[in-house]
Amino acid sequence: MAVRAVRGAVQLERDDAGHMDEQVSELLTAVLERNGLVADDLISIWFTATPDLHSDFPAAAARKLGIVDVPLICAQELDITGAMPRVVRVLAHVETYLPRSEIAHVYLGAAGALRKDIAQ
């Protein structure tokens, strides 16, 4: 078994706590499902949010999904002129038998434009 990193992102339509919870939950669920993972496979998750998101912590959605004993941290993404607004990014460290080449990185909706080279 190896330690792997899985990336993902989603662009929110608006800065609203309920909407953030829904979208981040969808992103995390997709990351787990597409990689055949369960919560016990998670080592840690880093969340970043663009500076225009203030309504809630993205990690709160993970806790509501039942990811309660995994270290989570939230940080603010760099404020770069011209960057896509209202984006939550995820970097999950996992234990898996998948080789690096088979890891499915998940970029939902418009966030797919961020990493066309690895978006699934």
Please say if the pLDDT value at position 117 is more than 80: no
Asked if 34 and 98 touch (Cβ cutoff 8 Å), the reply is no
Asked if 81 and 92 touch (Cβ cutoff 8 Å), the reply is no
Is the pTM of the predicted complex or chain greater than 0.75?
Answer: yes
- Known catalytic membership, residue 77: yes
CB contact set of 119 (below 8 Å; sequence gap of 6+):
105, 106, 107, 111, 112
Residue 114 pLDDT: 85
- Known catalytic membership, residue 86: no
Name the more confident of 72 and 113.
72
CB contact set of 39 (below 8 Å; sequence gap of 6+):
32, 65, 66, 67, 70
Active-site pick, 13, 14, 33, 63: 63
Active-site pick, 22, 89, 95, 97: 89
Active-site pick, 22, 26, 34, 74: 74
Give the type of residue at 5.
A
